[in-house]
Amino acid sequence: MSKGKTPKRSQVPEESSPMQEKFINYIMRRGKKSIARKIFNSTLKIISKKTSSDPEKILKTAMDNIKPQMEVKPKRIGGAVYQIPREVKPDRQTTLSLRWLIGAARDKKGTSMDQKLANELIDASNEQGAAIKKRDDMHRMADANKAFAHLAKY
């Protein structure tokens, strides 16, 4: 017999925000969250040493800079496939920006992951780097296919 409703426990530790936890989950590979957390924390330390400013602020600025506004979705109409530009929903903006940022850091060679991630975050906060290039390419593609925007209703 049940003794009532179980209180919901908070999944996020007190020292980090939900956004930081999501970032850690994207860094994580093969379920090794403690390693991902160490990488994230050392990345924040490296950022604070290099820029002498608040690393959380730089993380937020970088994420806001990377978030795409428009994307293209392929749609088959009458035997032809059109790339139709669409607005990106907020959840997908966050997902894409995290994916691009961590992917860009992983593609770099030579140094440790925390160093690569710190460099990519600093670049993104300054509107530079591979993740920003990816966003610009997506926006360019959406602009090029603006003529097919009227097909979005189908």
Domain 18-153 in CATH 1.10.455.10: yes
User: What is the per-residue pLDDT for 12?
Assistant: 56
User: What is the per-residue pLDDT for 3?
Assistant: 80
- Tens digits of residue pLDDT in 121-132: 999 999 999 999
Residue 115 predicted with pLDDT over 70: yes
**What would the DSSP string read from start to end of 18-72?**
HHHHHHHHHH--TT-HHHHHHHHHHHHHHHHHHH-S-HHHHHHHHHHHH--SEEE
Task: Residue 86: name the closest of 104, 105, 73, 67 by CA.
Answer: 73
Could you tell me the pTM of the whole model? 0.83
- Tens digits of residue pLDDT in 50-81: 998 899 999 999 999 999 999 999 999 889 99
Q: Where are the domains of the chain?
A: 18-153
Structure tokens at 107: 């593609």
